Structure 1
Amino acid sequence: MRRFLIPALICLAALAACERREASKGPAPSQTQPAAEARFRHRLSGDVSGDYRPVAETSGAWRVESLFIGQAEAFDAWEAGRRDAAPLILVVSGPEGRIQLTPRAYDLTDDSLHLVAGPATGSSESEDATLDARIDQGALATARRNLGDRTPVITGAVTVRGERIPFSLGWWNGD
């Protein structure tokens, strides 16, 4: 019995040391904000790429016009510092017209997206927008099977100039 107890205690002590080491690294990044050292991060096991458009008309001063999500290769390039083509493009319209926003930070998984985006380089706009959304994988599969029906796939809200804009977007297959 003692022969098994000592190795078991050694293993438990090693596990406890690992947990203490992980805890000393600080809290894990929240889902609502990308970690500072990982400003651009994607963790995808499947393909969520596509152009997403509103499934219903909204009223108000601001509205989400579209959200483009690129292929995994585009995210890899962006995270490696190659800024040729943005892997995420958010287009909103407001009192001054349409604004195309590109990533300042993002955290994308199969089920969620947190994006901090600002106007493209050269724009006179300077304020960032923040998007928090949920991605419904089942609805995405249905929309792709039906070639872009009005199924809500991405739901959430964008905050622009202090105004929260709820949205519901469907995968868009074009006209």
Structure 2
Amino acid sequence: MPRTDPTPVAPYPIHWDGSGLVAEIEAYLASLPAPARTPGPCVCRYGSTLRPWYAGHPEPRATLLDRALRRPARPVPVTAADHLRLASRYIGAHGWLQGAMWDAAGRVCLLGAQAAVLAHGYGTPATVRVGRIQLMEVLHATGRPARSPDEYNDRPATREGDVHQLLDRAAARAARLGL
């Protein structure tokens, strides 16, 4: 039977140790404005199910003819915006790297993520090319000129979050343009 009580359940047992910590926390929570004190939605204590980086897209499937001719499956058609989002999710799943396309641990740079998405059967070389053009457009439009997205990836000041933000902005731009 589903739970109807709106009070959230603690994900771990609370131990009352008498140190005054609980009272201090309650006093702090009472001092917050009313909207911050309202209980949020009840979150499952077991977390969420892990999903692969390509979730939401069909896996490439080899046809009988593909298997007979021993050729790879046809790529799954994706837009340039989808390709850039998948590249960001690939980096999130496998880790980010500077100075090399990939390493033994599976981490990848921006170019390595795009190559991996393509190698897994999502999109075509033309899709990757359009995605890279969108990355360059965003870099120049935001005042971060670079000769290539890879140069931007390898700059000492660039962080993984910057790469995800770049991919997200380029994907949004490509989606607006219908690419």
Structure with greater strand percent = 1
Structure of higher CA gyration radius: 2
Structure with greater helix percent = 2
Q: TM-score, normalised by structure 1?
A: 0.24
